[in-house]
Amino acid sequence: MGTPKILILGAGYGGLLTTLQLQKKLNYNEAEITLVNKHNYHYITTWLHEPAAGTAPADHARVSLDGILNKDKVNFVKGTVQAIQPEEQTVTLENGEVLSYDYLVIGLGSEPETFGIEGLKEHAFSIRSINAVRNIREHIEYMFSKYKNEPDRTDYLTFIVGGAGFTGIEFCGELGDRLPELCREFDVDPKLVKVYCIEAAPTALPGFDPELIQYAMDVLERKGIEFKIGTPIKQCTPDGVLLATGEEIKSKTVIWAAGVRGNSIVEKAGFEVMRGRVKVDEYLRAPGHENVFVVGDCALIFNEEGRPYPPTAQIAVQEGETLGENLAALVRGDLPQKFIPHLQGTLASLGKGEGIGQVGSKKLFGSTAAMMKKASDLRYLYKIGGVGLAMKKVKL
Ligand code: FAD
Atom of ligand 1 nearest to the CA of 109: 53
Q: In percent, how much of the chain has pLDDT > 70? A: 99
Q: What is the mean pLDDT of residues 341-351?
A: 93
Residues 252 and 277 in one domain: no
Contact 18, 42 (CB under 8 A): no
Residue among 25, 48, 74, 75 at smallest CA distance from 129: 48
Question: How high is the pLDDT of residue 7?
Answer: 98
Asked whether residue 179 is assigned to any structural domain, the reply reads: yes
Q: Among the atoms of ligand 1, which is closest to the Cα of residue 129?
A: 11
Q: Are 247 and 264 found together in one domain?
A: no
Q: Whose CA is nearest to atom 53 of ligand 1?
A: 109
Among residues 50, 113, 170, 319, the one annotated as catalytic is 170
| pLDDT of res. 395 | 62
Q: pTM (2 decimals)?
A: 0.95
pLDDT tens per residue across span 323-336: 999 999 999 999 99
pLDDT at 116 over 90: yes
Residue 385 lies in a domain: no
CATH number for 105:
3.50.50.100
The verdict on 193 and 96 lying in the same domain is: no
Q: Which has the closest alpha carbon to 364: 175, 190, 215?
A: 215
How far away, in angstroms, is 186 Cα from ligand 1 center?
A: 33
Whether the Cβ atoms of residue 229 and residue 216 lie closer than 8 Å to each other: no
Average pLDDT of the segment spanning 98-120 = 97
How many distinct structural domains can be found in the chain?
2
Given a cut of 70, is residue 174 above it in pLDDT? Answer: yes
Q: Of 256, 271, 305, which residue constitutes the final position of a domain?
A: 256
* Residue to mutate (ligand 1; options 42, 45, 131, 255; most atoms within 8 A of CB): 45
Among residues 325, 343, 361, the one where a domain terminates is: 343
Cα(313)–Cα(294) distance, rounded to whole angstroms?
14
ipTM greater than 0.95: yes
Active site residue 170: yes
CATH of the domain at 220: 3.50.50.60
Domain that holds residue 131: 125-256
What's the pLDDT tens digit per position in 255-297? 999 989 999 999 999 999 999 999 999 999 999 999 999 999 9
**pLDDT of the residue at 396:** 53
240 and 131 co-located in one domain = yes
Using alpha carbons, select from 30, 2, 10, 5 the residue that is nearest to residue 89: 5
**What atom of ligand 1 comes closest to residue 11's alpha carbon?**
9
* Together in a domain, 244 and 130: yes
Ligand 1 site: residues with CB under 6 angstroms?
10-15, 36-39, 45-46, 48-49, 80-81, 107-109, 127, 166-167, 170, 263, 265, 296-297, 311-314, 316
pLDDT computed for residue 239 by the predictor: 97
Residue 176 · residue 225 · CB < 8 Å: yes
Q: Is the pLDDT of residue 147 over 80?
A: yes
Same domain, 135 and 102: no
Cα angle for residues 377, 382, 383 (degrees, 5° grid): 100
- State which ligand 1 atom lies nearest to the alpha carbon of 93: 19
User: Does residue 225 sit in the same domain as residue 148?
Assistant: yes
Q: Is the same domain home to 148 and 207?
A: yes
